[in-house]
Structure 1
Amino acid sequence: MTKISLTYLLLLFAMLALSSCASKNKYLYYQDIEEVINSESQSKLFETKLAPDDLLMIIVSAEDPESAAPFNLFSTMTADPKNPARNGQMTQQLYLVDSQGKIEFPIVGSLIVGGLTKSQAIALIKDEINKYLTNPIVNLRIMNFKITVQGEVNRPGVHSIISERLTLPEAITLSGDLSTYGSRKNIMIIREQDGKRSFARVDITKADFINSPYYFLRQNDIVYVEPNKTKINSSVVGPNITIGISALSLLVTIIALSLK
């Protein structure tokens, strides 16, 4: 065996030792989706529950607008030199759900909405207003619904959501998808509910996660994408890669010279 061929052989061996073959099972989403979709298990209808610190916009309307006016909170905007056109405009006030899950509603008084779904809260408010109005219409919306995505995604950050129904895949998409170094098998979701924090780990390579209670995100959820082993190892190898290559080159040279 010549010196050149031996050198190439050693370099090839070193490259194979330093690299690893990536299995598609580590990167593909929704594997075995056919089995999950065709199984008897089906996703239940999800609806967000109201929680302390939620800011709610509640609008009450009726056939007679004047009769519904006392149930709507508005405020007049003060003078704004930067935007004179908005001076004097009426803006809808928001209701803050306090630490006990209560809001103060005009005429009706205190209402406990914390822990209720949106439809349940609307039904509660409508029942109370029915004492004063005929066939009232109540619209309710959470104005500060947001989630936080951290870790190995292309655009980490806090995302404000117009809708109150957001899935984990949608949150990942809002963040520019997972990076190459994101662990798809171990995504952590931190959640606070009823004053208690909990967490779960989700494997999005397995399609059955769509039946998980963490498939639909709740307001203020934190999604953390952990780095995979490649990223962790590279963080250790990276600073020493030059030394490693130099040592490998020296070893190849010594072996080649010894075989002359």
Structure 2
Amino acid sequence: MKNHFLVVIILINALLVSCIPHKDTLYFQNKSNATDSTQTIVENPKPYRIQINDILNIRIKVTDQDNVQIFNPIGEGNLNATAGERAYFDGFTVDLHGNIRIPELGYMNVLGFTTEDIEGLIKDKLLEEQFKEQANIFVTVKLTGLNFTTMGEIGNNGTRIIYKERVNIFEAIANSGDIPDTGNKKDVMIIRQYPHGQKIYHIDLTDVAVMNSPYYYIQPNDLIYVKPLKQKAWGTGTTVIQNIGAIATILSLVTTSILLLNRI
């Protein structure tokens, strides 16, 4: 009988250990020695520099707008297309050599430039080849939304676009259905694209200091991967209440087995 009792105790301890700690489910914990969370200062990120496969939205305005119709997309096409699809067809995609092709102006290398830099390049080229200062040229260059992909233990896997110039990791996760309790918030992987290849970065979303990480703001074409916690692989509940049900089921099975063995 003592052996049976020992087995039950071991099962209960194992299930309690398999619960996900409350601190592993919380964001923005102050893990430093400082107690004043207001000391955390989020620095402005460096301007994003254009990479291969980025899609740019370019608009050119002058005093006589009829003179720049050839530069600006006319917006025709499938009216049922999504905003992302229209951006793909109307935008200027950066090719494998880092170039975009603009009507009348030809190819222009934009790899590694900021959108502000590109505005200046286009304006200078227009003044040099097409217009005079009196045309009052106004050029805007924007990324056609910030697209990223989520995988793993997160609400919704897949690729999505947020139409903002800056998106932090929490905004990206919120737009993807959040990370469930069974997701590892302490070690979220960001796989980032570069002209020479890919790099993998690891960030801890449970630590408020993540806001000062150079990877706090995501970049176009980032892949965000959330690993599952071991508790999910074990198949146990995530809370004590859920594990009580599992314990009750196992106890019932153990008790039934003991009674049957005693009858033999």
- TM-score, structure 2 length as denominator? 0.75
Q: Give the C-alpha shift of residue 127 in structure 1.
A: 2.0
Do the aligned partners of residues 37 and 112 (structure 1) sit closer, same or farther apart at CA in structure 2, a change above 3 Å counting? farther
Alignment of 1:201-240 (within 5 A): 201-234=202-235
Given that 1:102 and 1:110 are in contact with CA atoms closer than 8 Å, whether structure 2 keeps it comes out as: yes
* Offset from partner CA, 1:41-84 (integer Å, 9 cap, x none): 6423343322222222211001221333343354865xx8x99x
Aligned equivalents of 1:102 and 1:38: distance in 2? 43
Q: Which residue of 1 aligns with 2:21?
A: 23
Do the aligned partners of residues 244 and 11 (structure 1) sit closer, same or farther apart at CA in structure 2, a change above 3 Å counting? closer
Q: Give the C-alpha shift of residue 13 in structure 1.
A: 5.8
1:99 counterpart SS class: coil
Unaligned runs of 5+ in 1: 84-91, 236-240
Q: Which residue of 1 aligns with 2:156?
A: 155
1:216 counterpart SS class: coil
The amino acid of 2:170's aligned partner reads P
2:235 counterpart SS class: helix
Structure whose CA Rg is larger: 1
Given that 1:49 and 1:118 are in contact with CA atoms closer than 8 Å, whether structure 2 keeps it comes out as: yes
Aligned equivalents of 2:127 and 2:138: distance in 1? 10
* Offset from partner CA, 1:83-116 (integer Å, 9 cap, x none): 9xxxxxxxx8322211111112233222111211
1:55 aligns with 2:52: no
Do the aligned partners of residues 133 and 231 (structure 1) sit closer, same or farther apart at CA in structure 2, a change above 3 Å counting? farther
Aligned equivalents of 2:132 and 2:25: distance in 1? 57
Do the aligned partners of residues 182 and 159 (structure 1) sit closer, same or farther apart at CA in structure 2, a change above 3 Å counting? same
Identical-pair percentage: 27
98, 101, 113: which is aligned to 1:104?
A: 101
Q: Give the C-alpha shift of residue 141 in structure 1.
A: 2.6
Larger relative contact order (Cα-Cα within 8 Å, sequence gap ≥ 6): 2
CA RMSD of aligned residues (A): 3.5
Q: Which residue of 2 aligns with 1:118?
A: 115
Aligned equivalents of 1:67 and 1:94: distance in 2? 20
Aligned residue-pair number: 235
Q: Give the C-alpha shift of residue 254 in structure 1.
A: 8.8
The amino acid of 1:25's aligned partner reads K
Unaligned runs of 5+ in 2: 81-88, 237-246
Given that 2:20 and 2:231 are in contact with CA atoms closer than 8 Å, whether structure 1 keeps it comes out as: no
